[in-house]
Amino acid sequence: MKLPLFQLDTFTDKPFAGNAAAVCPLPRWIDDSLMQAIAAENNLPETAFFVGARGSYHLRGFTPVTEVDLCGHGTLASGFVVLNELERDRDEVKFQTRCGELAVRRSDNRLAMDLPSQPPRPCVVPPELIQGLGVDPVEVLASEDFLVVLENEDAVRAITPNFNLLRKLPLRGVIVTAPGLVEYDFVSRFFGPKVGVDEDPVTGSAHCVLTPYWAGKLQKSEMIARQVSARGGILRCSLGDGRVALSGKCVKYLAGEIFIE
């Protein structure tokens, strides 16, 4: 069996930055165990698989160790493959996912995604969270992930997590955030050792939580965010009625085939 494979760097305008994702268009679904094995072999934060045609697809995403409900950068990468490789005459593609319908469309020289808003809420703070980050937070909330708010960007950049402690947490991962210094409205980092990604370079799904949070704090519906991982990435964030629009650029790094006997 031969399967097409694309690898892209997302939320960046240059290679070797942003977040890498693999995308495998399929003629039909293959076994879940095989998709998980391919994702583990790729060893990227996300490998996306989709089936469909004519602007309508079903999309699934896998980290190296598990399937996830929502992956922003995998969705953006899949949209790039459809709109720039498979159906170049289209301006929008829709994906059916485990968290509903997600759309990716051309927006100037970027791609824009329509994702669900996931406002964080007050929560009980596990001791492993504070110990694992080694910080004194301004605020801790939760959605699908814990949201830990720090005083400033330098504090976010300085964190050296204890991943063994963070792996014990009951939620998917940990978002750490603070106001941006100059160019950006806010900054963040994302840690997901529980799903096989110690630190995700740029996390689209985390901005479904960050966007409504910072929109409330800053009293702005349009914001520019930077994820301050080693690779780094830039996202334009817009809050609508129960939805978050995220836009960014993608760079194609690789196109090839997977061979499976």
Residues 6+ apart with CB under 8 A from 189: 156, 157, 159, 175, 176, 177, 199, 227, 228, 229
DSSP one-letter code for 91: S
Is the Cβ–Cβ distance between 165 and 132 less than 8 Å? yes
The question of whether 85 is a catalytic residue gets the answer no
Nearest to 247, CA basis, from 116, 118, 113, 75 = 113
* Ramachandran angles phi, psi of 220, nearest 5°: -135, 140
Annotated catalytic residue, options 46, 144, 153, 199: 46
Active site amino acids: 46
